Amino acid sequence: MSINELKRAAGYRAADDYIRDGMVIGLGSGSTAYYATLRIAERLREGTLRDILAIPTSEDTARIAREQGIPLTTLEEHPRIAVTIDGADEVDPEQNVIKGLGGFLLREKIVAFATDYEIMVVDDSKLVQHLGEKAPVPVEVIRFGWRNTCAALERTGARPQMRQRSGAPYITDEGNYILDCTYDRIASPQELAAALKAIPGVVEHGLFLGMVHCTVIAAPQGVRVVER
């Protein structure tokens, strides 16, 4: 199976098994969550799913949902979400994850915090023994004073790099920068998360710890589900 076929298998499995009539759901961002959004739209058109409302985690996902005919709402109108299906950049054995390489970590974490059952959909290449093995930790920062913020991140052991798009700094949906922070080893994700949030100028980081209830993992041998 190609990588896109694996992503499709994970996204479709989650959309089929966990989304039910009448739910308020969260729509994640990224290439694997994209397939879950497509499958939810297919189910609405088929009539096997009815009366849902969706809260997107990015402007990109909102655009796709509108194009596919998925009705949208907001957290102001519906402050609790039954199920969110989202993607991850790394998943450890405790289902702690790194997210944010797509650039949407702030809204993704806000939605996850409001969700009763948070599902990650991944292919098996995203599984790691320790967070930070493959992916940097994305940190969303205010543009004002960002160089001072960057220096503070370095003092946590990070090697920060400004995320670029088309030769210019990447700007998030909320108008911020992202500094991708590579660590030689993350000994304690919880301690690192606390240290990052204590830095003035840091809006949010891509460590999602204790927030995931279920991971749907696609591999060439098939799709498996791991629940916490």
Active site positions, annotated: 108
167 token code pair:
């030769």
**Which residues face 122 on adjacent strands?**
217
Spatial separation of the C-alpha atoms in residues 21 and 145, rounded to whole Å: 47
The burial class, CB within 10 Å (0-12 / 13-18 / 19+), for 124 is middle
**Which residues face 54 on adjacent strands?**
25, 72
Spatial separation of the C-alpha atoms in residues 177 and 28, rounded to whole Å: 20
Spatial separation of the C-alpha atoms in residues 188 and 191, rounded to whole Å: 5
Pairing of strands 90-91, 97-98: antiparallel
- Which among 83, 118, 97, 104 is positioned nearest to 203, based on CA atoms? 104
Spatial separation of the C-alpha atoms in residues 208 and 138, rounded to whole Å: 11
Spatial separation of the C-alpha atoms in residues 81 and 76, rounded to whole Å: 11
Whole-Å CA distances, 121 to 22, 99, 162? 22, 12, 27
